[in-house]
Amino acid sequence: MKVPFYDIKAQYTELAAETDAAVHAVISGGAYVMGPNHNALEAEIAARQGCKHGIAVNSGTDALRILMDAVGIGQGDEVITTAFTFVASAETIVQTGARPVFVDIDPITFQIDPAKIEAAITPRTKAILPIHLFGQMCDMTAVKAIADRHEILVLEDAAQAIDSTQHGVPAGSIGIGAGFSFYVTKNLGAAGDAGLIVTNDDELAQRCRSIRVHGMGRERYYYDHIGYTSRMDEVQAAVLRVKLTKLTEWNARRAAFAARYFQELADSDLRLPATLAGNHHTWHQFTVATPERDALQAHLRANEVDSMIYYPVPLHFHEPYARFADGRGSLPVTEEVSREVLSLPIHPHLSAEQVQFAASVVREFTSSRIHAAS
């Protein structure tokens, strides 16, 4: 039985009639840029994430970049984040002229370790950019308390965390602003690139809206900022609005598959995902850890079960980012976790049988090693 890691076509098939109608309405209607779907999506996502403003942009990367520009992060500033993330988190910091300061992660949750943040704060620290990795929020109570104590900003990289909450508070609503990604493979994925900024700050929202369109002010062809061209296409907004109607159900399917994995793998010696207290996890990834990760992946591959490694190489091991850390060994937890993690298929278009099969292949691997060792 093949178990694919993603099945984008199955997502489309489930909503084919609605998607085709929505896309056709955009193409035939002629409102291609910042049309009614774009505006409605901004309001819908903002409300969902407990925020006053939503600013649709053309990727999660641009959401972070525009947010950073809008809060004034730039040359000479430092932004605290982690090296166990998708490159965009640090890339956007570097693009502003600021310096990413990598702190280590928690070995159990893989999220930023709040206990490591304070030692990394200097007079140049402008912000913390925590990443809500794999579908659950990092410890925002701790992060926010540290930031408030030192009067620095919190920007949330919520690219992987739509609909995630902590003690009932949605991702994106605690920091001054947050960036979401709707890249194809996210829990809510467009038919291409798309992203969105949320904030409760009126002035910041206005700046983001301006920077998204060349820094244009309230009047056309008058410029208040240096900006970009980063609008979300109306076609993408239309597709996203159709998929949004299914997001709660799709996330529930992910949660059911996570429960199945927990049940089936409880006796294995894998490190299973840990959910922080108070978190509603949306299971963007189901990520296990074992020192024998590569052998486990080979065993899965031999049985046609796909898996992915997020992330195999910590950011400070890549040449362009090496200058922002003290070399190999400087972030020991990040480095160990990068060697050991493996994500199992958990997308909502799997069948219960496929998840059961994937779990049984993992179990076969772990129990054969336990027997070999005894």
Residue 233, interface with ligand PLP (CB under 6 A)? no
3 state SS of 266: coil
**Cα–Cα distance between 35 and 373 in angstroms, integer?**
62
Least distance from C-beta 341 to ligand PLP, angstroms?
Answer: 14
3 state SS of 325: coil
The residue (of 62 and 335) whose beta carbon lies closer to ligand PLP is 62
Q: Roughly how many angstroms between the first and final C-alpha of the chain, as a whole number?
A: 31
The residue (of 105 and 361) whose beta carbon lies closer to ligand PLP is 105
Residue 85, interface with ligand PLP (CB under 6 A)? yes
The residue (of 134 and 357) whose beta carbon lies closer to ligand PLP is 134
- State which of residues 11, 19, 37, 59 lies at the interface with ligand PLP (CB under 6 A): 59
Q: Segment 4-23, which members bind ligand PLP (CB under 6 A)?
A: none
- State which of residues 54, 83, 86, 240 lies at the interface with ligand PLP (CB under 6 A): 86
Least distance from C-beta 87 to ligand PLP, angstroms?
Answer: 8
- State which of residues 19, 164, 181, 290 lies at the interface with ligand PLP (CB under 6 A): 181
Stretch touching ligand PLP by CB under 6 A, among 58-66, 107-115, 213-221, 319-327: 58-66
- String marking each residue 130-169 x if it binds ligand PLP according to CB under 6 A: -x-------------------------x-xx---------
Q: Segment 187-206, which members bind ligand PLP (CB under 6 A)?
A: 193, 195
Residue 236, interface with ligand PLP (CB under 6 A)? no
Q: Using DSSP bridges, classify how beta strands 279-280 and 78-81 pair: parallel, antiparallel or unpaired.
A: unpaired
Least distance from C-beta 89 to ligand PLP, angstroms?
Answer: 5
Is the CB of residue 265 less than 8 Å from the CB of residue 364?
no
Least distance from C-beta 277 to ligand PLP, angstroms?
Answer: 22
Is the CB of residue 208 less than 8 Å from the CB of residue 86?
no
Please report, for residues 81, 109, 113, 248, 322, the alpha-carbon distance to residue 317 in angstroms, rounded to integers and kept in the order given. Answer: 15, 21, 20, 37, 6
Residue 88, interface with ligand PLP (CB under 6 A)? yes
State whether the Cα torsion 111-115-120-123 is positive or negative.
positive
3 state SS of 11: helix
Please report, for residues 79, 225, 247, the alpha-carbon distance to residue 126 in angstroms, rounded to integers and kept in the order given. Answer: 6, 20, 35
Stretch touching ligand PLP by CB under 6 A, among 31-39, 86-94, 314-322, 355-363: 86-94
Least distance from C-beta 131 to ligand PLP, angstroms?
Answer: 5
Least distance from C-beta 58 to ligand PLP, angstroms?
Answer: 9
The residue (of 228 and 363) whose beta carbon lies closer to ligand PLP is 228
- State which of residues 84, 110, 134, 183 lies at the interface with ligand PLP (CB under 6 A): 183
- Number of residues forming the site for ligand PLP (CB under 6 A): 15
Residue nearest to ligand PLP (CB): 60
Least distance from C-beta 190 to ligand PLP, angstroms?
Answer: 9
3 state SS of 199: strand
Alpha helices in the chain (DSSP H): 8-14, 16-29, 36-48, 60-71, 88-95, 140-150, 202-212, 234-244, 247-265, 293-302, 332-340, 352-373
Q: What is the dihedral of CA 139, 142, 148, 149, to 10 degrees?
A: -160
Is the CB of residue 109 less than 8 Å from the CB of residue 362?
no
C-alpha 212, offset from chain centre = 21
Is the CB of residue 153 less than 8 Å from the CB of residue 126?
yes
The residue (of 284 and 299) whose beta carbon lies closer to ligand PLP is 284
The residue (of 241 and 260) whose beta carbon lies closer to ligand PLP is 241
| Site residues (vs ligand PLP, CB under 6 A) | 59-61, 85-86, 88-89, 131, 157, 159-160, 181, 183, 193, 195
